[in-house]
Amino acid sequence: MALAKSGLNKKISNLALEKRKEDLEDATKVLSLTKAALVMVGDLAAITIKSFWPHPYYHAFCEHRRRSLQSTLSRLQKNGLVRRDLADNFFVLTDKGIKERKKILDRINLEKTKSDKWDGKWRVLVFDIPEKHKDYREFLRAELVEYGFKPLQKSVWISPYRSAEELRNSIEDRGMERWVKLLVAETVFDDSWLKGEFKL
């Protein structure tokens, strides 16, 4: 049973590495060493710095910075994003780390879709968050920028990217859906200036 599980994990890891090779160019545009390390921990159960060597991100982000990777892993552990599994002797993601890694992969996917052919639809996000929850409002604005949105008005933001719809996950995780609406529009009148903003 353990042998079968080991074989399955290896197969999953190999598939993940192939995916990272495909996305490497986009990843290097948007990731820091810290974010790259979090993705690597999710892809590979590894305990030593050398164990990360097969991962494409290792060569792109930290091949000549082994000490930096080691300190980064320690920082991720301190921040509750990874933990050291003493029984099996490797780093694993915590629940918090799994959510953060999902956001990082969404960001890579967003960068990738920027080069895809536009589907002609606009993603419009409208929000009205009470002043007493202004920390949520600040969080949302930061997420909007991260997901490639631009402001139309004070509380109305827009994006042409399909992966921008994945922002819903962050909204739901924070319990903000009662204040936030995400629409998909096929027509925005006089959108030539928007096309220019997004270089469509």
Residues 100 and 168 in one domain: no
- The CATH number of the domain holding residue 136 is 3.30.70.240
Residues 87 and 147 in one domain: no
Residues 109 and 143 in one domain: no
**Per-residue model confidence as pLDDT tens digits over 43-96:** 887 666 777 888 888 888 876 666 688 888 888 999 999 988 776 667 888 999
Count: domains in the chain: 2
Judged against a pLDDT cut of 60, whether residue 110 lies above it is answered with yes
Residues 147 and 108 in one domain: no
Residues 106 and 139 in one domain: no
Please give the residue range of the domain that contains residue 41: 2-113
Cβ pair 175, 169 in contact under 8 A: no
Residues 94 and 129 in one domain: no
Q: How far, in Å, CA of 71 to CA of 169, rounded?
A: 30
Q: pTM of the prediction?
A: 0.61
Residue where a domain stops, chosen among 85, 113, 141: 113
**Per-residue model confidence as pLDDT tens digits over 145-185:** 877 888 888 899 998 887 666 777 778 878 888 899 988 88
Residue type, 191: D
- Long-range own/partner contacts, residues 62-66 (CB < 8 A, 24 or more apart): 62/33, 62/36, 62/37, 65/33
Distances (CA, A) of 34 to 8, 37, 45, 70: 27, 5, 17, 11
Distances (CA, A) of 171 to 52, 161, 178, 179: 33, 17, 9, 9
Torsion sign, CA atoms 159, 160, 163, 166: positive
Residues 78 and 57 in one domain: yes
**Per-residue model confidence as pLDDT tens digits over 111-138:** 777 666 788 889 899 999 999 898 888 8
Model pLDDT, residue 9: 45
Residues 93 and 176 in one domain: no
Q: How far, in Å, CA of 124 to CA of 88, rounded?
A: 46
